A and B are shown apart, each in its own frame.
Chain A
Amino acid sequence: MQAASLALIGAFIVPAKVSGDGTQQPYRGRSLLLWAVAGLGFSALGWIVGGFMGSWAPRTVCAAAATAFALGLLNRQPRAALLGAVGTALVSLAAVQVGQSFITSLLAWPVAGLVIGVVGAFAFRRRRAKIAFIVAAPLLGSLGVVAGMMAVFLTARGLNDPRVASQTMLGGAVGFGLLVMAGAALIGRWLDKSRAAGGAS
């Protein structure tokens, strides 16, 4: 029972394609683990680099743009990655500016998620996957920001360490990248498989 559960989780994270004769081949599509780690790493790096340029606005812009860039790169579309990153940066910068004088600059996160959703949707073949990603990206992004912030603060509270607590907003950025990219991987895996082949999972 336990082994079966582990196998199920393993197949979900590191999927394999089963060919006609029953042999398993590595899945060449979107690996959940790789995409999630890439989202986490790129958004964290973007946040840190943004911090060298100023406060919340450059941090948010760079983290969101880096996530869009990672999405394009992993879709093996470097030109689209660059365009997506620039587009996400511009729109999220505008959202931060609006948010600073209207409610909160945290509004930039769902806005950035929406831009990434729209730009990233072009990488999917099937309409249902495109729509799902456009809807899911801002929701997952927002959820990621909140969950990431909470995770870091609760960790800091457990360790009673202000150095960890000071990185609460970095946790939000990491959560954004992680969930947006994990969402893209899952949608690609479950909603974008071809009708004829029956998918790669």
Chain B
Amino acid sequence: MSDSSDSRLLDRRGFVLLGAGALAAASAAFKWGRTLTTRACKSAPPNPFTAAGKPLLVVVEGEDLHAMMRAGIEALGGLDPLARLSNEALFRGNYVMSQPYPVTTAPEFVLAVAAEMKRAGLSKTSLLDTSGTRLSEAIQPEYMLRRLGVLDKLTQGGVPVLARDFLDPDEFVFVRNPAWPIAKPVAVHRLLHEAPIVVSLPVVKRHGWVNFTCALKMHFGSVAMADRMLVHSKDSDGRSGLMQQRLVHFADAVRPQLNIVDARAILARNGPGLSGGAEVVPGVNKIILSGDMVAVDAWCARLMAQHDATFNLDMIAPQLKHAAALGLGRADLDDVKVVEIRA
């Protein structure tokens, strides 16, 4: 390297190059900065599945999944309100680890919902999942879905699977509801933010940290890994209440139009996986349908309490109360029209 200095620091050529470089840098920085801007949460239309001013919650008991699904949707009043919004729907399942139903949403359940959507006139349904990253060969976004057989079964069944990278910042948009007590935004997946119809397909499980997982908590999987890690690292045992609040905000950022819970079996005593004393309770044989995710969790918590002596409703009272206060739905089942049928 030369130690000699030039007599002129910047000649004309250098000035032009420096200017061009500065301009390019400024444009790139501006464009990058725009990706960090915070938007309002998506404006979802009001719950279309209501009766006499109350949100409708349909519980179907039976053995035949397709018959239960059809009966449930008919009791809900049909899917026309969704078909009027768009002809495409985006599904969200619960895929937290490579363990089969009821730890994760069963592929046959997704296909049964997709068949009913198609029957109602929706031309395209897809499943979005963000449970991996392309940074690592061992946890590619498709890895878990492939191991569970979800990828193959859904693809063969005509439901495309959108397996996205949970670390890629470009996949997510920052949203915030001014009503949240936490000033920081949430990075929700861009596809969920932009989709006109989102349908949640939760399972009913206990959770070691927040006691219960169903329609609200499952949206931990709808936000960027950065958000999940921040909450887990700040509230590692779930006692500070941050996780209970934040999971509601994650659900608020998604606001699905319809929740269809697969409670043919549930995971009791512990979760969200099969370890730590968790027990699969088979033969529950129910599916629950509602446009109100708070009502869904309130009802499914009662279902859990019936099958798990270590669970009580107080365990999820804070998250239901917070969700109701934010207007996500009704936590008091007296304010919900519950329809129970057999199929």
Residues in B with CB closer than 8 Å to A105 are 134-136
A5 on the B face (CB < 8 A): no
B65 on the A face (CB < 8 A): no
Stretch in B75-83, B146-154, B180-188 with 4+ CB within 8 Å of A:
B180-188
Q: In the complex, A41→B24 CA distance in Å? A: 13
Residues in B with CB closer than 8 Å to A106 are 135-136
A195 on the B face (CB < 8 A): no
Residues in A with CB closer than 8 Å to B135 are 56, 104-106, 169
A200 on the B face (CB < 8 A): yes
Assuming the contacts A162-B226, A165-B229, asked whether A124 and B1 have C-beta atoms less than 8 A apart, the reply is: yes
CB pair B184 A162 closer than 8 Å: yes
Interface residues on A, range: 35 or more
CB pair A162 B230 closer than 8 Å: yes
Which chain A residue lies CB-closest to B37?
A163
Q: Which of B207-244 contact A (CB under 8 A)?
A: 223-224, 226-227, 229-230, 233-234
B179 on the A face (CB < 8 A): no
Q: In the complex, A201→B230 CA distance in Å? A: 45
Residues in B with CB closer than 8 Å to A51 are 32, 169-170
Residues in B with CB closer than 8 Å to A125 are 1
Q: Which of A11-46 contact B (CB under 8 A)?
A: 28-30, 41, 45
The residue that B29 contacts in the complex, of A48, A104, A157, with Cβ under 8 A, is A48
The residue that A100 contacts in the complex, of B137, B172, B223, with Cβ under 8 A, is B137
The residue that B185 contacts in the complex, of A99, A153, A163, A168, with Cβ under 8 A, is A163
B168 on the A face (CB < 8 A): yes
CB pair B165 A165 closer than 8 Å: no
The contact string, 1 if C-beta is below 8 Å from chain B, for chain A 165-185, is: 111110000000000000000
CB distance from B2 to the nearest CB of A (A): 6
CB distance from B182 to the nearest CB of A (A): 8
CB distance from B229 to the nearest CB of A (A): 7
The residue that B134 contacts in the complex, of A29, A55, A200, with Cβ under 8 A, is A55
CB pair B134 A100 closer than 8 Å: yes
Q: Which of A137-180 contact B (CB under 8 A)?
A: 153, 156-157, 160-163, 165-169
Total interface residues on B, using CB and 8 Å?
38
Q: In the complex, A192→B3 CA distance in Å? A: 12
Q: In the complex, A114→B4 CA distance in Å? A: 28
B5 on the A face (CB < 8 A): yes
Which chain A residue lies CB-closest to B21?
A45
B95 on the A face (CB < 8 A): no
Q: In the complex, A103→B224 CA distance in Å? A: 22
Residues in A with CB closer than 8 Å to B168 are 55-56
CB pair A76 B227 closer than 8 Å: no
A49 on the B face (CB < 8 A): yes
CB pair A28 B185 closer than 8 Å: no
Residues in A with CB closer than 8 Å to B165 are 55
CB pair A48 B28 closer than 8 Å: yes
CB pair B233 A157 closer than 8 Å: yes
Nearest first, the 7 closest Cβ-Cβ pairs linking A and B are A165-B226, A166-B169, A48-B32, A162-B227, A166-B226, A28-B3, A104-B136
Provide a sorted-by-A list of 23 A–B residue pairs whose CB atoms are within 8 angstroms.
Answer: A28-B3, A30-B1, A41-B25, A49-B24, A51-B170, A100-B134, A100-B137, A103-B136, A105-B136, A124-B1, A153-B229, A156-B226, A160-B182, A161-B184, A162-B184, A162-B226, A162-B227, A163-B184, A163-B185, A165-B224, A166-B224, A169-B167, A192-B1
Using A106-B136, A168-B226 as known contacts, list a sample of 18 further A-B pairs with CB atoms less than 8 Å apart, ordered by residue number in A: A28-B4, A45-B25, A45-B29, A49-B28, A55-B134, A76-B2, A104-B135, A105-B136, A156-B226, A157-B234, A162-B174, A162-B224, A166-B36, A166-B187, A167-B169, A169-B135, A169-B169, A188-B1
